[in-house]
Amino acid sequence: MNASQAQSAVIPTLRYSDGQAAIEWLCKAFGFEKNLVVPDKSGAIAHAQLTFGNGMIMLGSANNNDFSKLVKSPSESGGIGSQSVYIVVPNVDAHHAKAIEARAEIVIAIKDEDYGGRGYSCRDPEGHIWNFGSYNPWAKH
C-alpha cells in the first residue's frame, strides 16, 4: 500500500515494556517486517512501524510520555488487554506452526469457524492477544 492508497487506513498501535525485543519477536513469530524503527536517546523504541502484507502496526516502548499515561501494555496492567488485532493470513496452519515454534502462547486453538474461515488466537510475550485467520471480512460472502 502506498501513501495515496492509505487515505483512510486503520493502523493499530501497541505499547511494549521492551519495544526492541517485541519487534524482533513479532518479526520472527508472525512474519512482520520492519518498515521504520526509531530508537530514543536511551535505546528504547520511540516509534516503530512494522508491516504485514498491506497492513501495518505501530509500536513503541513504554515510557513516561503523554501517550503512555493513557495506554498500558497487558504486562503493565495485570495481564489483561483491552483490545486485540485480527490479521488475515493466506495459510493459517503454516502461520500457526510458525507461532508455536516461536513459543507464542496459543489461547484459542486453531479451528474452523461457523461463519467461515479458519483461525486461532495467541498471546505474545508481553500479553497482547493476536488473532490470525483465513476469514476475510472484505470478501463477498
pLDDT digits (tens, 9 = 90+) for 99-121: 999 999 999 999 999 999 999 99
What is the DSSP code (8-state) at residue 50? E
Strand partners, 112: 118
Share of residues in the chain with pLDDT > 90 (%): 72
**Residue whose cell numbers read 498500558:** 72
pLDDT at 78 over 80: yes
pLDDT, residue 9, reads 84
pLDDT at 1 over 80: no
Residues 6+ apart with CB under 8 A from 108: 120, 121, 131
Distance CA 45, CA 103 (A): 23
Residues 6+ apart with CB under 8 A from 44: 19, 20, 60, 61, 63
Distance CA 75, CA 78 (A): 6
Phi, psi of 11 (to 5 degrees): -130, 105
**21, 58 contact by CB (below 8 A):** no
pLDDT at 124 over 90: yes
Q: What is the pLDDT of residues 44-73, one digit of tens each?
A: 999 999 999 999 999 999 887 787 788 888
What number of H helices and E strands is found in the chain? 2, 8
Instruction: Name which residue leads in pLDDT, 5 or 90.
Output: 90
Nearest CA-CA partner of 127 in 42, 18, 12: 18
Nearest CA-CA partner of 46 in 67, 60, 63, 64: 60
Q: What is the pLDDT of residues 3-48, one digit of tens each?
A: 555 577 899 999 999 999 999 999 999 999 999 999 999 999 999 9
What is the DSSP code (8-state) at residue 132? E
Angle at alpha carbon of residue 22, lines to 50 and 54, rounded to 5°: 20
